[in-house]
Amino acid sequence: MKGSILVVDDEKNQRELISGFLKKKGHEVAAAESGERALALFGERVFDLVVTDLKMEGIDGVALLEAVKEINPTTGVILVSAFGAIQDAVEAMKRGAEDFLVKPINLDHLEGLVRLSLERSALVRENRELRERLAERYRFDHVIGESGTMQQSLNIAARAAKSKATILIRGESGTGKGLIANAIHLAGDRADGPFVEINCAALSPGVLESELFGHEKGAFTGADRRRAGRFEQADGGTLFIDEVGDVPLEIQVKLLNVIQSGSFYRVGGNDRIDTDVRIVAATHRDLEARVAEGSFREDLYFRLNVVSIRIPPLRERRSDIPLFAEHFLKRFAEKNDKAVEGFSAEAMDCLVRYDYPGNVRELENAVEQAVVLARSGIVELGDLPASIRAFRDAEPTEADIEIGSAPLAEMVENLERRAIRKALEAAGGVQTKAARILGISERNLRYKMGKYSLK
């Protein structure tokens, strides 16, 4: 691995020896005769690695180390010291130096340290960039949802993220509960800690217990070594327990105990393990009904349901469907290298009318199919899945307006959107004629078509 390296030494011969050697190895090298000159160069550019003498007049190697780490924490620093200054070099390593070399320098040893330092710095940068990309992806203001019901849910999630309270996310399958859980983690005080998740519905009781709490060697057949569970893995961070409503009663007891005490025992173990974990749980089950029937512990329910966040199904926030559809279209057009830029009015009308029992996940799959099958730059009605096209023929009735399913303003918007589509269909797409049918101005019609993403 090649990198940009700054060599700092007040002895000219030593400086030229190290610089010349590193240049021959293919690195981009700059040199400075003092700590002051080194910081001046750092003001002009950032280096991947600094190789500096420990003892210098003015700004010495330790002071330079601290200044470099302040400017750019990912830059590695290797100290060069005389034999008698080894203790000082060891102390400097405690402050963040990568390693140290003793004079006279073994150049082969220097090459090995440089390679390791550059690899380590690159890994730190990659991890930081990945975390920043994840944080950007999962920020609350990047979660798609402009409907009133979704904004209310996001508002509660954002306010609860900074707290230590246990959070229960409720919603149908495919509504994006995991996305919200990750956003809560990244918006909270534990963002630098791990985010660990487990889906309880996908595991048998025996496997689930081991996955949550870990096990000792010999705890059961096949346990050939000790294994840490999700609670240990999530220490200092967030544990996302998905489909918590499917946890068996016998495991609910252990789950309740760890929430209350902050400690647990591995399967087959006798040593108590302390853990500092923030719990975010999610379920599509009716937990109140499960409590009433005796399949879910009431005390565990109250421990989990400190802050409750409901993620509305897609059919209750139809105004978000065009936003999701455009988002998925852009993603899958890039993925499949296709110049698909939008939806026909008929295709979008069909997408908005459908009820999506699979919620956002189903819409995502539908748009991916449509992009793959599209013959032109526009997704047409025929490109959509047959199940969604068939739903289009059903006329809306009063049964579609379920009181309490959404705020009044959103219900009015849904009806208004349907009326505009019908008027445009009746007018053959001629906006002037559609505006006359609706009894509004053409300018007002254009505004509402933009508001509802109608083309």
Cβ(321)–Cβ(352) below 8 Å:
yes
pLDDT band at 406 (very low <50, low <70, confident <90, very high): low
Residue 162, helix vs strand vs coil:
coil
Q: What percent of the chain has pLDDT over 90?
A: 48
Cβ(383)–Cβ(374) below 8 Å:
yes
Cβ(343)–Cβ(303) below 8 Å:
no
120 vs 351: which has the higher pLDDT: 351
According to DSSP, residue 267 is labeled B
Average pLDDT in the chain: 86
Tell me whether residue 436 is exposed, middle or buried, using C-beta atoms within 10 angstroms of its C-beta: 0 to 12, 13 to 18, 19 or more: middle
On the question of pLDDT at 278 being above 80, the answer is: yes
On the question of pLDDT at 54 being above 60, the answer is: yes
CA dist 121 and 140 (Å) reads 30
430 vs 281: which has the higher pLDDT: 281
pLDDT band at 131 (very low <50, low <70, confident <90, very high): low
122-126, 132-136, 251-255, range with the lowest pLDDT: 132-136
Question: What does the pLDDT read at residue 398?
Answer: 47
Give exposure, 380-398, as e/b (b: 16+ Cβ within 10 Å).
ebebbbeebbebbeeeeee
Give exposure, 228-255, as e/b (b: 16+ Cβ within 10 Å).
ebbbbbbbebbbbbbbbbbbeeebbebb
132 vs 45: which has the higher pLDDT: 45
Mean pLDDT (whole number) for 314-341: 91
107-121, 257-271, 300-314, range with the lowest pLDDT: 107-121
Question: What does the pLDDT read at residue 399?
Answer: 43
41-50, 268-277, 416-425, range with the lowest pLDDT: 416-425
Give exposure, 333-348, as e/b (b: 16+ Cβ within 10 Å).
beeeeeebebbbbbbb
On the question of pLDDT at 444 being above 90, the answer is: no
Question: What does the pLDDT read at residue 408?
Answer: 65
Question: What does the pLDDT read at residue 81?
Answer: 81
Cβ(450)–Cβ(422) below 8 Å:
no
The domain made up of 139-312 has a fold known as Rossmann fold (3.40.50)
CA distances from 88 to 9, 81, 83, 336, 351 (A): 17, 9, 10, 57, 69
Q: What is the CA radius of gyration of the chain?
A: 30
Mean pLDDT (whole number) for 52-64: 89
Tell me whether residue 226 is exposed, middle or buried, using C-beta atoms within 10 angstroms of its C-beta: 0 to 12, 13 to 18, 19 or more: middle
Tens digits of residue pLDDT in 152-169? 888 899 889 989 899 999
On the question of pLDDT at 135 being above 80, the answer is: no
End-to-end, the C-alpha distance of the chain in Å comes to 52
132-141, 305-314, 349-358, 440-449, range with the lowest pLDDT: 132-141
Residue 98, helix vs strand vs coil:
coil
Question: Quick one: how far is CA 384 from the chain centroid?
Answer: 29
Cβ(347)–Cβ(370) below 8 Å:
yes
Tokens, residue 63: 């002071």
Answer yes or no: same fold for 4-133 and 139-312.
Answer: yes
pLDDT band at 296 (very low <50, low <70, confident <90, very high): very high
CA dist 115 and 72 (Å) reads 19
138-147, 348-357, 377-386, 435-444, range with the lowest pLDDT: 138-147
CA dihedral (288, 292, 295, 299) positive or negative: positive
Tokens, residue 451: 């508001």
Residue tagged 């040199």 (tokens): 31
Is 0.75 surpassed by the pTM of this model? no
- For the chain, the domains span 4-133, 139-312, 316-451
Which class is domain 4-133? Answer: alpha beta
Which class is domain 316-451? Answer: mainly alpha
DSSP string, 36-79: HHHHHHHHH---SEEEEES--SSS-HHHHHHHHHHH-TT-EEEE
Cβ(382)–Cβ(415) below 8 Å:
no
CA dist 24 and 12 (Å) reads 18
Prior bond of 104 cis (ω within 30°)? yes
415 vs 65: which has the higher pLDDT: 65
